[in-house]
Homo-oligomer: A and B are copies of this chain.
């Protein structure tokens, strides 16, 4: 996992040869200013299509070359913007599988709510899907860890008898996160009621056959 992490990392201070650090080192402050500049613009409601490198540079008070020195284009920069905007991983209570799943789904719901208000996630997200390479980078650094977290919870659930063990974990995970993601990501106009995480988990656990079956 560590290698993957470092492979998809996009902006580095002098990442290339990593010699004995000749010349003036890259300024981390500048790096932050750029990323925060993009966020500010997005939060101010600037449409994604109007986010030119030129404008980003102007906003951050930075030369264009300084941006290109770190990222090869708008899209790669956006990956780092998303990364910076990412909320921290949720803490799992670990008492029961059901409880942990609800926490995980609730965190997805929160992210959905967030991405609508701030407008950062949703558009950049959509934009990024156009490039398989960038999507892979984003997936590896941001999404995959959450997915693995889910796998772990489900595995424990199978081990302690809370969950059927005749279904592969990947599919199980998609059964849980799918309904939430459909609403949060693919259909951003739908509501995300407070008890949605709990209802999804319980429906899946109990099944859909009529009660008196």
- What count of chain A residues pass the 8 Å CB interface test? 48
| Complex contact A210–B161 (CB within 8 A) | yes
The interface-forming segment of A3-11, A80-88, A198-206 is: A198-206
Residue of A163, A170, A204 ringed by the most chain B CB atoms within 10 A:
A204
Query: Which partner residue on chain B sits nearest A188 by CB separation?
Result: B132
- Shortest CB distance A109–B (Å): 13
Classify the secondary structure of A's interface with B: helix
A-B CB proximity, top 5 nearest: A207-B207, A178-B178, A126-B129, A178-B179, A178-B182
- Shortest CB distance A168–B (Å): 10
- Shortest CB distance A130–B (Å): 5
| Complex contact B179–A171 (CB within 8 A) | yes
The answer for the CA separation of A205 and B203 in the assembled complex, in Å, is: 9
Task: List A residues at the B interface (Cβ < 8 Å).
Answer: 48-49, 122-123, 125-127, 129-130, 132, 136, 139, 161-167, 170-172, 174-175, 177-183, 185-190, 199-200, 203-211
| Complex contact A205–B209 (CB within 8 A) | yes
- Shortest CB distance A99–B (Å): 15
Query: Which partner residue on chain B sits nearest A172 by CB separation?
Result: B208
Contact for A210 among B139, B163, B177, B187, CB less than 8 A: B163
The answer for the CA separation of A18 and B199 in the assembled complex, in Å, is: 51
The answer for the CA separation of A161 and B183 in the assembled complex, in Å, is: 27
* With known contacts A210-B163, A210-B165, A48–B130 Cβ distance under 8 A: yes
| Complex contact B171–A182 (CB within 8 A) | no
Return 28 A-B CB contacts under 8 Å, by A number: A122-B129, A123-B129, A123-B130, A125-B129, A126-B129, A127-B127, A139-B187, A163-B210, A164-B209, A164-B211, A165-B210, A171-B179, A171-B203, A174-B183, A175-B179, A175-B203, A177-B178, A177-B182, A178-B178, A181-B186, A182-B182, A185-B186, A204-B207, A204-B208, A205-B209, A206-B207, A207-B208, A207-B209
